C-alpha cells in the first residue's frame, strides 16, 4: 500500500529516465543519506565506525569499480587489488611530493594513475575472453604486487618498505593520520563514496553504460551495430581502475593509516570479486550489499560467541567463521545466483502489489 | 650498451661456460613444470567434464596431504592411511556433487567458479579445525619414496638429481598415461568425453551426469593426493601450500582449459621458462621474479593463441 | 523457492541487525592483556607455538599467584591470521577495553599501530621485530622492541662469522648471500648489510623470496649454487624457512655456513629437513627446553590442567614456545614495575609504559622468575633506549633438536645506533607533524 506508483505520471523524457523514478524511492534514498550523514556519526561507537562502516564503504567503492567492468562490460578481472595498490602508492607519492595541497586532491588524482595502469593491463582483453582473461589479469596483480615491494622509489626509500600516512588537515580539522577521529574520516569517506556512486550511476544509465552492456551481452553483435570494441573495453578498464584506485588510496589514507604491499595482494582482488558476485553483477546497490555482507559477516561471527558468552578460543572462532562464510557463499549462490540485489528487487515487487498477490 | 649486453649476450655466455648449471636449471624447470602440471591436471579434469573452474583444487591438495599425515599420526600404517585418504577424497567428491554442483546445475560459469571459492573457504576452516594449523612433515619414507640424490659428474661440473624429483616425474607421467587410457579406452572415460562435449546430448543417451561428476571430482581428488605427497615431501605440509594452486593457472591458460596434453606441455614450458628466466635474467631485476614471470610467459602465448596451445578453437556466431 | 528466499532475507537482515548489536563483552575486574595471535593462515606454523607460550605463561601467573601483584590478568586472544586488516580490526576491538599493552606479533600490524599508540595511550611491545627505529625512545615513547633489533641481529651474525673466519677483514673479496622474505621484514636489514659490505669489502648478494613462492625456491637456490657465497644469511618466516633449509641441503651447501635470524630458528623450521638439516645455524634470544622451573610450573598449573592449547606436551619447551614465554615475561615484568612505581594495583597503559622504561631483568631476577640463564640480562632499556641492544647466542640443529653452540654475542652497538637514530629522524621527517615526546622520564631509568 505504501509503495504505489499509481498517480505518478511522467510528462518528460527526463523524468522517465530518472535514476529514481518513484517518489518513494527518492524519499527512501534521502532518508538513508540523512541517517548516514547526520545520525550515524553521532551515535555509532568508534569500533563500529572504524572496523565496519569505513571499510564497508571503501570496499563498496572498489566493488562498484569492478562491477562496472565485470557486471556492466562483462570483463572478468582478478587484478582489482593491484589497481587499488596503484591508487594507494600514487596517492602517497603525490601527498608527500606536494604536502601543501589538500589531501583530497591526491586521493582523487591517484585514480588517474590507476586508470592509466588499468588501460595497459586491459589491452589483452581485446584478444582474450572469459576465464582466460581472468587469469591474464592475474598477471597484472602479481606484477604490480612485485613492483610495490621492489621499487623503493614508491615508498620514498623507506627502510621498512611501508607507506605511512602523515597527518593532513582540512580547514583545520585533521582528516588523515592518527589524530583524525573515526567520525571525521567516516564523513570524508562517505562523501567521496556517495559522490562517486552518483557519478557511476549516471555513467551506467547513459550512452557509455549502454555500450558496455551491449559489449557484455555479445561483443561481436555490439561491434556489428557500430560500437568500437577496443575503445569501449579499454574505457571500462580505465573507469573501473579509477574507482579501484580511489578506493585503494582511501583504504590507506583514511582507514589503515599505514600499509605494506600485502594489503593489495591477490586476496584483496578475490574479496572484491566476492562482493560483486554475492551482491549482484550489474547492480550498484548490489556492490554495497555485497560489501556489507562480505565484510560485516566475519566481524559479526567473530564477536558473536564472545557477546553470547560462549567460551570458544579465538582460533576456533576463526575456523568456524571460515567454514560458515564458505558455506554461506555457496548457499547464497544456490538460493539466488543473481545476488542480493535481485533479492531486493523481488522484495520491492512484492511490496508494490502488497497486500494482494497480483 | 652494458644493459643490452647483460640482457642479450651475458646469459648465453653463462650457459656456454657453465653447461652443468644449464642442465641443472633445465632439470629443475622440468621437475617444477611436472609438479605444476599435476595441479593443472586437477583443474582440467573438472573443467572438461563439468565446465567448473575449480578454484578449490589447491586446498584439496592440502586437505589430502593433511588427511594422510594426520591419519598416519593416529598410528594407522602408512598404506592403510593412504587408502583411507582415497576414501576421504571420494566422500569429498560425493559431497561436493550433492551439495554444491547439483543445486547449481545450469548456472553461468562465474557462479560455479564463485561456488568453488566458497568451497575453498569451507575446506580451509574445516581443515584447520580438524588438523590444526601446525605444519606437518610428509611421511615420505613410510611411503617408500626415495631420499637423497644422484650427483652426476658431467660437463666439467656436476648435476644433482634428487631421487624424490625423479620419483615425482615418473609417478606424474604414469598418472597422466593412466588417465589418458582411462579417458580413451574405458566405458566411463567415453561417457566423460561425451559429457564434456555436450551435457544435453550426454543426458539424452542415458549418461548420468551426477555419476560422472562424482567420478571427475574423485579423479581430481586422486591427483590432489599425489600432488600433496610430492609437494609435501619437497617442503612440508601446511595450509600455505594452497598458494601453489595459483602457479597452475598460467599453465592452464597456456595449455588450454580443456586439454590434458596441454596441461603437461604447458607445465613444462612454464616450469622451464620461469627457471631459466629466474636464473639467467632474474638477477638483473633483483631476483624473485618467478611470481609473475609465469603469467607473463602465458600471456605472451595467449596473445597469439587466445584459446591456449591445445584449447578448442573458439568459434563465435552472432 | 519463495520460502528459501524468505529465509535468506531474514538471515541477511539478522546478520545486519546483529552487526549493529554486536558490542564487545563488558570488561571484568583486572588487568586486561590482549594477545594478538595467529593460529590460522599461511604463517600459523610459526604463530601457534608463540601464541601458546605467551598465553600459557600469563595463565600460569594467574593460576599460581592469582595474577600480578594481586591483580588478576584478563587474557584474551584476538586472531589476526598475520593479516594487517584483521590486526587493525582486533586493535579497534580491544582498544575500548583499556589494554595495558598490545603485542601485535607482526611487523605489518606494528607499523600501523605506531602512530596510534601515542594517541590512544597504549604501549606497544614488538619484541625483537617491528620497526627497528622505534628503539629511539625520544621519538617513539610508546613503542618498545627489546631485547634486540634486526640490525643488532645482523651485526651479531657478522661477529659470529668474523669469529669463524678469524677476523672480519678476512671477508674481503668473498661473497655473502642474503636470502630474505620479500617484504618489510626481510628488507629492513639491507642498509646495514650494504654498509658492512662496504666496510669489510665483501660482495652482498640478495635472494628475495616473494610470499607466493615461499615453498618454491629451487630456482633461487640454483643462483646460490652459481654464486657460491661463503656464508648465507636468512631472514625468513613461516613456510619459507623449512623450504630454504631443505633446498640448501639439496644443493650441498655447507649448512654450518647458513645462519638464520631468531625468527628462522623454530623446531618446525628444521624438523622437515631432519638429518639433512644438520649443522644449520640460527640466532636465538631465549633458552631452549622445558627444564626451567617456570616452564615446569606451566606444565603443572596450565598444561596438565588442560588450560593450554598445545596439542602435545612435548611441544612445550620448543624454541618458539619459549620465545612466547619470553614475550610474556617482558609484559609481566613491565606490569610489575608499573605497580611498583605507581603503587596502584590495577595499572593503566600509561603506567605500564613507565614500567617498560624501567625494565630491568638481571641475572638474579631471571633466576627468581624460575628461568635461570634463560636470556641475556635485560639491563639497558631506558627512557631514551627502548631496545637495549641485548645479546643473543647461536644455536645449531643437530638433526633432531637445537643445541646452543656459542656464548652470548653482543651486537655492534656503535654500528647500529647511528643507523637507528638516522632512521628515526627519517621517520619523523616523513610523518610531519610528528608529536614531540611529552612524557617525562622517570628518575630511576
Tell me the per-residue pLDDT of A265-309, one tens digit each, with 9 for 90 and over: 888 999 999 899 889 888 999 999 999 998 988 888 887 777 777
**pLDDT, tens digit, for every residue of C352-380?**
999 999 888 998 999 999 999 898 898 88
Q: Tell me whether residues C239 and B32 touch, CB distance under 8 A.
A: no
pLDDT of residue C5: 55
| Residue of C206, C245, C207, C219 whose CA lies nearest to B25 | C219
- Three-state DSSP class for residue C283: strand
Interface residue C309 vs chain A (CB under 8 A): yes
Other beta carbons less than 10 A from residue C324's beta carbon: 29
Q: What are phi and psi of A16, to 5 degrees?
A: -70, -30
Show Cβ contacts of residue C334 under 8 Å, excluding neighbours closer than 6 positions. C101, C123, C125, C352, C355, C356, C359
| Cα separation, C125 vs B314, whole angstroms | 58
The secondary structure of C85-105 as a DSSP string is: HHHHHHHHHHHTT--S-BB--
Show Cβ contacts of residue A343 under 8 Å, excluding neighbours closer than 6 positions. A336, C5, C8, C9, C12
pLDDT of residue C222: 87
**pLDDT, tens digit, for every residue of B98-109?**
898 888 877 888
Q: Which residues of A touch B124 (CB under 8 A)?
A: 322, 326
Q: What are phi and psi of C306, to 5 degrees?
A: 75, 25
| Residue of C56, B290, C24 whose CA lies nearest to A299 | C24
Q: pLDDT 10s digit of each residue in chain A, 358 long?
A: 566 777 777 788 777 777 777 787 888 889 989 988 888 888 888 888 888 899 999 999 999 999 999 999 999 899 999 999 999 999 999 988 888 888 889 999 999 999 999 999 998 888 888 878 888 888 899 899 889 888 888 888 877 778 888 888 887 788 887 778 888 899 999 999 999 999 999 999 889 999 999 999 988 899 999 999 989 999 999 999 999 999 999 999 998 888 888 889 888 999 999 899 889 888 999 999 999 998 988 888 887 777 777 677 778 888 888 898 899 889 988 988 888 888 888 888 887 777 776 6
Fold (CATH) for C31-148+288-379+421-430 = Rossmann fold (3.40.50)
How close does chain C come to A281, measured CA to CA in Å?
18
pLDDT of residue C8: 54
| Cα separation, C132 vs C427, whole angstroms | 11
pLDDT of residue C444: 52
pLDDT of residue A45: 83
Whether C150-284+394-411 and C31-148+288-379+421-430 are alike in CATH topology: the answer is: yes
C-alpha cell at C356: 617498560
Interface probe, candidates A93, A315, A336, chain C, greatest C C-beta count within 10 A: A315
pLDDT of residue C23: 45
Interface residue C214 vs chain B (CB under 8 A): yes
Percent of chain C at pLDDT above 90? 35
Residue B46 predicted with pLDDT over 70? yes
Residue B149 predicted with pLDDT over 80? no
Q: Tell me whether residues B100 and A138 touch, CB distance under 8 A.
A: no
pLDDT of residue C19: 47
C-alpha cell at C440: 617525562
Reported pTM:
0.90
| Residue of B104, B130, B123, B134 whose CA lies nearest to B58 | B123
Percent of chain C at pLDDT above 70? 93
C145 class by beta-carbon count within 10 Å (0-12 exposed, 13-18 middle, 19+ buried): buried
In a domain, A282, yes or no: no
pLDDT of residue B298: 86
| Cα separation, A111 vs A91, whole angstroms | 8
Residue B269 predicted with pLDDT over 50? yes
For residue C275, name the pLDDT band (cuts at 50, 70, 90): confident
Interface residue C421 vs chain A (CB under 8 A): no
Element holding A30 (H helix, E strand)? helix A23-34
Q: Which residues of C touch B24 (CB under 8 A)?
A: 222, 225
How far does chain C reach from its first CA to its final CA, in angstroms?
71
User: Which one of C19, C24, C427 has the shortest CB-CB distance to A300?
Assistant: C19
Interface probe, candidates C187, C217, C242, C272, chain B, greatest B C-beta count within 10 A: C272
pLDDT of residue C323: 93
How close does chain C come to B130, measured CA to CA in Å?
12
pLDDT of residue C67: 87
pLDDT of residue A94: 92
Interface residue C40 vs chain A (CB under 8 A): yes
- Three-state DSSP class for residue A185: helix
| Residue of B37, B50, B38 whose CA lies nearest to B96 | B50
Half-sphere exposure for A337 (CA within 13 Å, toward CB): 16
- Three-state DSSP class for residue B54: coil
Interface probe, candidates A126, A224, A327, chain B, greatest B C-beta count within 10 A: A327
The secondary structure of A204-238 as a DSSP string is: HHSHHHHHHHHHHH-HHHHHHTT--HHHHHHHHHH
| Cα separation, B48 vs C341, whole angstroms | 71
Mean pLDDT for chain C?
Answer: 86
**pLDDT, tens digit, for every residue of C422-438?**
888 888 887 777 887 88
Q: Tell me whether residues C184 and A317 touch, CB distance under 8 A.
A: no
In a domain, A340, yes or no: no
Residue C27 is given by DSSP the state P
pLDDT of residue C1: 43
**pLDDT, tens digit, for every residue of C60-78?**
999 998 888 888 999 988 8
Q: Please, are residues A84 and A255 in contact by the beta-carbon 8 Å criterion? A: no
Q: Tell me whether residues A257 and C23 touch, CB distance under 8 A.
A: no
pLDDT of residue B119: 93
Interface residue C210 vs chain A (CB under 8 A): yes
Q: Tell me whether residues A218 and B302 touch, CB distance under 8 A.
A: no
pLDDT of residue C12: 54
Residue B186 predicted with pLDDT over 70? yes
**B→C interface, C-beta within 8 Å:** 18, 21, 24-25, 28-29, 31-32, 128, 132-135, 137-138, 147, 149, 151, 160, 162, 231, 234-236, 238-241, 243-244, 246-247, 274-275, 278-279, 282-283, 286-288, 290-291
**How many domains in chain A?**
1
Q: Tell me whether residues B288 and C213 touch, CB distance under 8 A.
A: yes
For residue C24, name the pLDDT band (cuts at 50, 70, 90): very low
Residues 199-228 of A with CB under 8 A from B: 218, 220-221, 224
Interface residue A28 vs chain C (CB under 8 A): no
Show Cβ contacts of residue C329 under 8 Å, excluding neighbours closer than 6 positions. C57, C361, C369, C371, C374
Residue C273 predicted with pLDDT over 70? yes
Domain B2-304 has CATH 1.10.3470: yes
Q: Please, are residues C281 and C309 in contact by the beta-carbon 8 Å criterion? A: no
- Three-state DSSP class for residue B179: helix
Interface probe, candidates B39, B100, B117, chain A, greatest A C-beta count within 10 A: B117
A343 class by beta-carbon count within 10 Å (0-12 exposed, 13-18 middle, 19+ buried): buried
Mean pLDDT of B108-133: 88
Residue C20 predicted with pLDDT over 70? no
How far does chain A reach from its first CA to its final CA, in angstroms?
13
Residues 110-149 of A with CB under 8 A from B: 124, 127-132, 135-136, 138-139, 142-143, 145-146
pLDDT of residue B242: 82
Q: Which residues of A touch C24 (CB under 8 A)?
A: 47, 303, 306-307
User: A127: domain range?
Assistant: 44-277
Q: Which residue of C has its CA nearest to A166?
A: C431
Mean pLDDT for chain B?
Answer: 85
Residue B76 predicted with pLDDT over 70? yes
**Domain definitions of chain C by residue range:** 31-148+288-379+421-430, 150-284+394-411
How close does chain B come to A265, measured CA to CA in Å?
12
CA angle at A58 for the pair A56 and A62, rounded to the nearest 5°: 110
Numbers of helices and strands, H then E, in chain C: 15, 11
Interface residue C218 vs chain B (CB under 8 A): yes
Interface residue A317 vs chain C (CB under 8 A): yes
pLDDT of residue B87: 94
As its CATH architecture, domain C150-284+394-411 has 3-Layer(aba) Sandwich (3.40)
How close does chain A come to C17, measured CA to CA in Å?
10
pLDDT of residue C14: 55
Mean pLDDT of C217-227: 86
Show Cβ contacts of residue C373 under 8 Å, excluding neighbours closer than 6 positions. C287, C363, C366
How close does chain B come to C320, measured CA to CA in Å?
13
Distances (CA, A) of C363 to A9, A266, C198, C332: 87, 48, 37, 17
**Domain definitions of chain B by residue range:** 2-304
The secondary structure of A152-179 as a DSSP string is: GGGGTT-TT--EEPPPEEETTEEEESTT
pLDDT of residue B247: 82
For residue C159, name the pLDDT band (cuts at 50, 70, 90): very high
Go through B101-130 and write b for each residue having 16 or more CB atoms within 10 A of its CB, e for each that does not. beebeebeebbbbbbbbbbbbbbbbbbbbe
Residues 111-150 of C with CB under 8 A from B: none
| Cα separation, A186 vs C386, whole angstroms | 34
Q: Which residues of A touch C111 (CB under 8 A)?
A: 160, 162, 164, 258, 260
User: Which one of C206, C242, C250 has the shortest CB-CB distance to B162?
Assistant: C250
Show Cβ contacts of residue A183 under 8 Å, excluding neighbours closer than 6 positions. A41, A42, A49
User: Which one of B132, B138, B274 has the shortest CB-CB distance to C219?
Assistant: B274
Half-sphere exposure for A290 (CA within 13 Å, toward CB): 34
Amino acid at each position: 500500500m505504501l509503495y504505489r506508483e499509481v498517480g505518478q505520471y511522467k510528462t518528460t523524457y527526463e523524468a522517465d529516465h530518472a535514476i529514481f523514478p518513484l517518489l518513494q524511492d527518492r524519499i527512501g534514498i534521502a532518508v538513508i543519506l540523512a541517517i548516514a550523514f547526520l545520525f550515524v556519526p553521532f551515535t555509532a561507537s568508534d569500533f563500529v565506525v572504524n572496523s565496519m562502516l569505513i571499510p564497508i564503504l571503501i570496499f563498496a567503492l572498489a566493488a562498484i569499480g569492478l562491477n562496472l567492468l565485470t557486471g556492466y562490460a562483462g570483463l572478468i578481472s582478478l587484478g582489482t587489488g593491484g589497481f587499488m595498490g596503484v591508487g594507494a602508492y600514487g596517492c602517497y607519492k603525490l601527498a608527500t611530493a606536494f604536502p601543501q595541497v589538500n589531501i583530497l586532491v591526491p586521493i582523487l588524482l591517484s585514480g588517474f594513475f590507476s586508470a592509466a595502469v588499468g588501460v595497459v593491463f586491459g589491452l589483452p582483453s581485446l584478444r582474450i575472453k572469459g576465464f582466460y582473461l581472468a587469469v591474464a589479469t592475474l598477471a597484472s596483480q602479481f606484477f604490480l604486487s612485485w613492483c610495490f615491494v621492489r621499487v623503493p622509489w614508491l615508498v620514498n626509500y623507506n627502510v621498512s618498505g611501508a607507506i605511512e600516512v602523515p597527518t593532513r588537515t582540512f580547514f583545520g580539522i585533521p582528516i588523515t593520520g592518527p589524530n583524525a577521529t573515526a567520525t571525521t574520516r567516516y564523513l570524508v569517506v562517505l562523501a567521496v563514496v556517495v559522490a562517486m556512486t552518483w557519478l557511476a550511476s549516471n555513467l551506467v544509465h547513459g550512452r557509455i553504460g549502454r555500450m558496455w552492456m551491449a559489449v557484455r551481452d555479445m561483443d561481436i553483435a555490439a561491434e556489428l551495430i557500430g560500437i568500437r570494441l577496443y575503445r569501449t573495453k579499454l574505457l571500462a578498464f580505465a573507469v573501473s581502475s579509477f574507482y579501484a584506485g580511489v578506493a585503494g588510496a582511501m583504504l590507506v589514507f583514511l582507514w589503515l593509516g599505514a600499509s605494506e604491499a600485502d594489503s593489495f595482494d591477490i586476496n584483496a582482488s578475490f574479496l572484491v570479486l566476492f562482493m560483486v558476485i554475492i551482491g549482484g553483477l550489474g547492480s550498484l546497490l548490489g556492490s554495497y550489499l555485497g560489501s556489507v555482507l562480505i565484510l560485516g559477516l566475519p566481524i559479526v561471527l567473530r564477536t558473536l560467541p564472545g557477546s553470547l558468552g560462549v567460551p570458544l578460543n579465538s582460533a576456533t572462532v576463526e575456523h568456524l567463521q571460515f567454514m560458515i562464510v564458505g558455506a554461506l557463499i555457496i548457499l547464497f549462490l544456490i538460493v539466488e545466483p543473481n545476488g542480493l540485489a535481485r533479492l531486493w528487487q523481488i522484495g520491492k515487487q512484492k511490496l508494490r502489489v502488497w497486500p494482494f498477490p497480483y | 650498451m652494458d644493459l643490452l649486453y647483460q640482457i642479450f649476450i651475458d646469459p648465453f655466455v653463462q650457459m656456454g661456460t657453465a653447461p652443468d648449471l644449464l642442465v641443472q636449471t633445465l632439470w629443475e624447470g622440468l621437475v617444477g613444470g611436472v609438479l605444476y602440471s599435476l595441479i593443472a591436471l586437477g583443474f582440467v579434469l573438472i573443467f572438461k567434464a563439468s565446465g567448473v573452474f575449480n578454484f578449490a583444487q589447491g586446498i584439496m591438495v592440502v586437505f589430502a596431504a593433511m588427511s594422510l599425515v594426520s591419519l598416519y599420526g593416529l598410528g594407522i600404517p602408512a598404506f592403510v592411511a593412504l587408502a583411507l585418504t582415497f576414501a576421504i577424497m571420494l566422500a569429498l567428491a560425493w559431497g561436493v556433487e550433492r551439495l554444491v554442483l547439483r543445486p547449481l546445475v545450469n548456472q553461468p560459469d562465474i557462479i560455479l567458479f564463485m561456488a568453488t571459492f566458497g568451497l575453498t573457504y569451507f575446506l580451509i576452516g574445516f581443515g584447520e579445525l580438524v588438523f590444526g594449523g601446525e605444519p606437518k612433515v610428509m611421511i615420505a619414507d613410510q611411503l617408500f619414496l626415495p631420499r637423497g640424490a644422484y650427483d652426476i659428474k658431467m660437463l666439467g661440473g656436476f648435476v644433482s638429481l634428487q631421487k624424490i624429483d625423479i620419483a615425482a616425474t615418473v609417478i606424474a607421467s604414469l598418472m597422466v598415461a593412466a588417465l589418458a587410457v582411462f579417458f580413451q579406452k574405458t566405458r566411463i572415460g567415453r561417457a566423460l568425453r561425451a559429457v564434456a562435449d555436450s551435457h544435453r546430448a550426454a543426458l539424452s543417451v542415458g549418461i548420468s551426469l551426477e555419476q560422472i561428476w562424482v567420478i571427475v571430482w574423485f579423479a581430481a581428488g586422486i591427483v590432489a593426493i599425489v600432488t600433496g605427497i610430492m609437494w609435501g615431501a619437497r617442503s612440508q605440509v601446511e595450509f600455505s601450500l594452497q598458494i601453489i594452486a595459483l602457479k597452475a593457472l598460467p599453465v592452464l591458460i597456456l595449455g588450454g582449459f580443456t586439454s590434458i596434453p596441454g596441461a603437461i606441455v604447458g607445465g613444462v614450458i612454464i616450469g622451464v621458462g620461469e627457471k631459466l628466466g629466474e636464473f639467467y635474467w632474474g638477477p638483473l631485476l633483483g631476483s624473485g621474479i618467478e611470481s609473475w614471470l609465469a603469467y607473463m610467459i602465458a600471456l605472451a602465448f595467449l596473445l597469439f593463441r587466445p584459446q591456449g596451445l591445445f584449447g578448442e578453437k573458439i568459434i563465435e556466431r552472432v | 523457492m519463495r520460502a528459501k528466499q524468505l529465509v535468506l532475507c531474514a538471515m541477511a537482515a539478522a546478520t545486519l541487525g546483529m552487526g549493529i548489536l554486536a558490542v564487545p563483552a563488558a570488561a571484568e575486574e583486572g588487568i586486561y592483556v590482549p594477545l594478538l595471535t595467529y593460529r590460522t593462515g599461511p604463517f600459523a606454523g610459526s604463530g601457534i607455538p608463540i601464541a601458546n607460550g605467551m598465553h600459557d605463561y600469563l595463565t600460569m601467573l594467574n593460576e599460581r599467584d592469582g595474577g600480578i601483584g594481586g591483580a588478576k590478568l584478563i587474557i584474551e586472544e584476538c586472531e589476526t591470521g598475520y593479516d594487517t586488516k584483521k590486526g587493525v580490526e582486533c586493535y579497534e576491538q580491544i582498544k575500548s577495553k583499556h589494554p595495558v599493552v598490545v603485542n601485535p606479533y607482526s611487523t605489518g600490524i606494528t607499523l600501523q599501530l605506531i602512530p596510534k599508540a601515542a594517541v590512544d595511550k597504549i604501549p606497544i611491545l614488538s619484541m625483537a621485530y617491528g620497526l627497528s627505529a622505534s628503539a629511539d625512545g625520544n621519538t617513539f615513547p610508546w613503542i618498545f622492541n627489546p631485547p634486540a633489533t634486526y640490525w643488532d641481529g645482523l651485526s651479531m651474525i657478522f661477529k659470529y662469522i668474523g669469529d669463524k673466519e678469524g677476523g672480519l677483514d678476512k671477508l674481503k673479496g668473498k661473497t655473502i648471500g642474503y636470502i630474505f622474505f620479500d617484504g618489510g621484514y626481510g628488507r629492513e636489514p639491507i642498509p646495514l648489510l650494504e654498509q658492512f659490505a662496504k666496510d669489510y669489502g665483501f660482495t652482498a648478494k640478495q635472494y628475495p623470496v616473494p610470499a607466493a613462492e615461499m615453498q618454491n625456491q629451487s630456482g633461487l637456490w640454483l643462483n646460490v649454487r652459481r654464486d657460491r657465497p661463503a656464508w648465507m644469511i636468512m631472514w625468513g618466516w613461516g613456510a619459507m624457512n623449512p623450504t630454504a633449509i631443505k633446498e640448501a641441503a639439496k644443493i650441498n651447501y655447507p649448512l654450518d655456513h647458513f645462519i638464520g635470524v631468531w625468527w628462522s630458528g623454530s623446531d618446525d623450521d628444521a624438523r622437515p629437513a631432519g638429518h639433512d638439516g644438520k649443522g644449520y645455524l640460527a640466532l636465538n634470544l631465549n633458552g631452549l627446553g622445558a627444564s626451567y622451573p617456570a616452564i615446569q610450573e606451566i606444565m603443572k598449573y596450565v598444561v596438565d590442567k588442560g588450560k593450554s592449547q598445545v596439542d602435545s606436551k612435548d611441544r612445550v619447551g620448543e624454541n618458539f614456545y619459549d620465545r612466547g614465554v619470553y614475550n610474556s615475561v617482558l609484559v609481566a615484568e613491565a606490569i610489575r614495575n608499573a605497580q611498583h612505581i605507581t603503587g596502584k594495583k590495577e595499572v593503566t597503559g600509561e603506567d605500564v609504559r613507565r614500567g617498560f622504561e624501567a625494565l630491568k631483568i638481571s641475572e638474579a631476577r631471571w633466576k627468581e622468575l624460575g628461568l635461570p640463564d634463560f636470556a641475556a640480562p635485560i639491563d639497558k632499556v631506558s627512557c631514551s633506549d627502548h631496545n637495549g641492544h641485548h645479546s643473543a647466542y647461536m644455536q645449531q640443529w643437530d638433526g633432531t633438536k637445537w643445541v646452543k653452540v656459542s656464548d652470548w654475542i653482543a651486537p655492534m652497538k656503535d654500528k647500529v645506533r647511528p643507523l637507528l637514530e638516522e632512521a628515526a629522524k627519517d621517520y619523523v621527517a616523513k610523518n610531519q607533524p610528528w608529536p614531540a615526546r611529552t612524557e617525562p622520564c622517570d628518575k630511576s631509568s
